[in-house]
Every structure is written in structure tokens, then in C-alpha cells.
Amino acid sequence: MATAGFNGDLDVSTDDSTYNTIGDVTEVSSNLQRSLEEITVLGDTAVDRLPMLKDSDFSITVLADDTDTQQGVLDSALDGGTTVYLRHLYDGTNGFKVECYVESVSYGSTPDGVATKSYTCMGRDAWTRVP
């Protein structure tokens, strides 16, 4: 059965043990992918491919809130070049988790809107599906 998008959940952890929900998330998009190497040879009648490495990334948009501890965890990871563990439960129950580096954060301020932050995070290890 389809699930409303607002039921989704995005959690962060520094130790892959205790996860806490990132506050005021308005949008998250995560991607799991595996690169494929083409290995077609002469005489083949169709393209063949070989599975290569897994990869993952996140795009996260939040309302900027300096009192939100978990947003601070992402900021600290970016500042310090350390990793965090992100867990995206796309329907509130099912999803995946992966260790990530925070690659960038973009700040947005519009006079008639709300200040926002947009993070890009890149996986550095294989993902694990949860639960």
C-alpha cells in the first residue's frame, strides 16, 4: 500500500548504534546504485555488463534550526571531515543505512520565506537495508 511521504524518517548516528531523528526535514532524496562495466566482445549479439561497486548519496533539505542537535551533527561532520551514519526510512519503517561523509551544505535565505539548509552526503561504504 502506498505511504504518505511525510511518514518518512531520516536519522543520524555517530556510532551506528544510537540513531536520532534529524529535525525539520522538508525533503530527503537518497540513491542507491551500482556501477556497471560494459564487457561486450566481438561476436556478442547484445551488450553485456559486469556489476562493479556500490555507491550511495543523499540530498537533504531542512529548515535551518541551530537548536536541532542532529543538524549540528551534520554540520560538525562537514567541518571536521568525519563520517556519520545516515538511516533513511522512506516509509517510516523500511529503508537503509550507510556511513557517509557530508560533502556540502547550502544555506538559503529569502526575505519572505524560511531559512533553509541543503546537505549533500556521499556514502563511503556498502549500505545495509533495515529493518
- Binding residues vs another protein (CB under 8 A): 5-10, 21, 23-28, 63, 92, 111-112, 114
Give the integer Cα–Cα distance in Å for 44 and 42.
Answer: 6
Q: 92 or 126, CB closer to another protein?
A: 92
Q: 29 or 76, CB closer to another protein?
A: 29
Which residues 6+ apart lie within 8 Å of 126 measured at CB?
54, 98
Q: 13 or 54, CB closer to another protein?
A: 13
Q: Exposed, middle or buried: residue 97 (CB in 10 Å: 0-12, 13-18, 19+)?
A: buried
Give the integer Cα–Cα distance in Å for 45 and 122.
Answer: 37
